[in-house]
Amino acid sequence: MQAFYIKTLGCRLNQAESAMMKEELILSGMRQAEHPGQADFVLVNSCTVTARADSKTLAYARRARRENPAATIAIIGCMAQTAMEDLLALPYVDMVFGNQEKNALVTTLLRQVPHSVGVLSEHSAPLKLIAQASGDERVNLKIQDGCDNTCSYCLVTIARGPSRSIKMEHVLETAAELAHTFDEIILTGVHIGSYGKDLAEPSSLGRLMERLLEIPHLGRLRLSSIEPAEIDETILGLLSHPKLCRHLHISLQSADDRILALMNRHYRWSEALKVMEQVKSIDPFLKIGTDIIAGFPGESPATFESICQRIESSPLDYLHIFPFSGRPGTQAVDLPDQCPDHEKHARVQRLQAVAAHLQERFHRSCLGQQRWVLLEKGAGYLKGETDNYISVRLRENPTGRSKQLVRLSGLADDGQSMEGEIVTGS
């Protein structure tokens, strides 16, 4: 029986799609290797959001070739979609499959495998099979792919194509199946806030959330990234629902209106701030995070300092920080006033200090609270995540249950998480 190994880089959507490919390959008669050195096929599910992401993909493929010269190395996904010819010219890459060809990848591999039993069709609900593959307490549920936005720095519209929603009936059926196995379902996609606009019967993310929250045995539901303008009255009205996680990752990228315009982002900082304040008025302990790009073209030192000050005084609780990476084929790579690499690095460090302050402020505000945590094993301790996206460490779990009511008792020494104590009798 021939073996495969999948290395996944990048976003939750890639993770969900890797899980689907894994299930199709297993059902078709292959086995999953524990290490790329043991595999006949090494599949690298790539990310191309930054130049660093591209470098990670290539470095992994080179290492796989050194460790396993006989393996077939395939690069798939977003980098494959945007740089197919360049990848095919590399001596350590045997196959390249863009996002549009991921379905064909499994069929192509099986042509090289004797006695394979065929593959699932595009309409045979492979999403449901994620529940059979993962030992985690949570699962990513793909509801949408692609993006219709034209952000000046982003290759996603090239890599993923236009926004396409999965039919609501299929999402609901799959979620109901997953809820029997997993305590938390995370709605994922490239641009989930656009969900439903392209369907024959147009719908919305808020309407989908309403239907999902009606599933009787659903544990908890979490959103992945969403745009500020897409947090509408329906979604605001659901934030206090007991099954919805108290966490929003709102995609902002900058806190300066001129930079947002250069990025081709269709909102102003004041509008995003108003949305965040509305959210906090509903639940001050709902954790809000965002992505910030440091060193975007045209971002002067004075502009950057103003950005830091606005972020520090905002309701934000954590940051994901990226130095600007000019991607070939995007508008931003040709903008004037490019920021030098050493200055980008300095700005990332400054933002990291701001992020540490925001997170400590939020964690201190939650001290003494009791919250439900999904637990998994760490190195010498138990770890887990609260409904409001706080990482928690515990020393023991007397009942062995994966879901526990925990009192947040202190700040952990890693600067990223909190210490917790299981509430007896919970």
Q: What is the CATH number of the domain that holds 80?
A: 3.40.50.12160
* Tens of pLDDT, residues 215-231: 999 999 999 999 999 99
Per-residue confidence (pLDDT) for residue 118, from 0 to 100: 35
Average pLDDT over residues 392-416: 81
Residue 116 included in any domain:
no
Which of 80, 110, 140 is a domain's end point?
110
pLDDT above 80 for 122: no
Domain count, the chain: 4
Q: Which residue(s) pair with 212 in the sheet?
A: none
Q: Using DSSP, state whether 340 is helix, strand or coil.
A: coil
Pairing mode of beta strands 403-411, 370-377: antiparallel
Same domain assignment for residues 207 and 166: yes
Quick count: other Cβ atoms within 10 Å of Cβ 135? 5
Same domain assignment for residues 150 and 163: yes
Q: Point out the least confidently predicted range of 25-39, 223-237, 338-352.
A: 25-39
Same domain assignment for residues 129 and 237: yes
Which of 60, 78, 110 is a domain's end point?
110
Residue 69 included in any domain:
yes
User: What is the distance between the alpha carbons of residues 291 and 308, in angstroms, rounded to a whole number?
Assistant: 13
Same domain assignment for residues 357 and 398: no
Q: Using DSSP, state whether 94 is helix, strand or coil.
A: coil
Per-residue confidence (pLDDT) for residue 129, from 0 to 100: 35
Residue 217 included in any domain:
yes
Same domain assignment for residues 77 and 174: no
Residue 164 included in any domain:
yes
| Share of residues in the chain with pLDDT > 70 (%) | 91
Same domain assignment for residues 238 and 144: yes
pLDDT above 80 for 271: yes
Q: Using DSSP, state whether 88 is helix, strand or coil.
A: helix
Q: What is the CATH number of the domain that holds 283?
A: 3.30.750.200
Which of 316, 341, 365 is a domain's end point?
365
User: What is the distance between the alpha carbons of residues 389 and 245, in angstroms, rounded to a whole number?
Assistant: 8
Confidence label for 1 from pLDDT (cuts 50, 70 and 90): confident
Same domain assignment for residues 34 and 63: yes
Q: What is the CATH number of the domain that holds 141?
A: 3.30.750.210
Same domain assignment for residues 141 and 232: yes
Same domain assignment for residues 131 and 222: yes
Q: Hey, which of 10-14, 285-289, 420-424 has the most confident mean pLDDT? A: 285-289
Residue 262 included in any domain:
no
User: What is the distance between the alpha carbons of residues 219 and 209, in angstroms, rounded to a whole number?
Assistant: 14
Same domain assignment for residues 228 and 183: yes
Q: 334, 324, 257, 336: which is closest to 296 by C-alpha?
A: 324
Distances (CA, A) of 389 to 245, 271, 323, 349: 8, 24, 24, 23
Per-residue confidence (pLDDT) for residue 206, from 0 to 100: 98
Q: Point out the least confidently predicted range of 177-181, 239-243, 260-264, 311-315.
A: 177-181
Residue 119 included in any domain:
no
Residue 300 included in any domain:
yes
Quote the tokens at residue 259: 């930079």
pLDDT above 50 for 281: yes
Per-residue confidence (pLDDT) for residue 398, from 0 to 100: 63
Same domain assignment for residues 132 and 235: yes
User: What is the distance between the alpha carbons of residues 271 and 260, in angstroms, rounded to a whole number?
Assistant: 12
Confidence label for 5 from pLDDT (cuts 50, 70 and 90): very high
The four Cα atoms 199, 200, 203, 208 give a dihedral, to 10 degrees, of -70
Question: Residues 54-66, buried b or exposed e (16+ Cβ, 10 A)?
Answer: bebbbebbeebbe
User: What is the distance between the alpha carbons of residues 374 and 406, in angstroms, rounded to a whole number?
Assistant: 10
User: What is the distance between the alpha carbons of residues 374 and 405, in angstroms, rounded to a whole number?
Assistant: 9
Quick count: other Cβ atoms within 10 Å of Cβ 318? 19
Per-residue confidence (pLDDT) for residue 27, from 0 to 100: 84
Q: Which residue(s) pair with 293 in the sheet?
A: 322
Same domain assignment for residues 216 and 230: yes
User: What is the distance between the alpha carbons of residues 286 and 171, in angstroms, rounded to a whole number?
Assistant: 26
Q: What is the pTM of this model?
A: 0.85
Q: Mean pLDDT across the chain, nearest whole number?
A: 89
User: What is the distance between the alpha carbons of residues 108 and 119, in angstroms, rounded to a whole number?
Assistant: 10
* Tens of pLDDT, residues 316-329: 999 999 999 999 88
Q: What is the CATH number of the domain that holds 393?
A: 2.40.50
Residue 144 included in any domain:
yes
Residue 213 and residue 243 in contact, taking contact as beta carbons nearer than 8 Å:
yes
Q: Hey, which of 4-13, 172-181, 312-321 has the most confident mean pLDDT? A: 312-321
Residue span of the structural domain in which 38 resides = 3-110
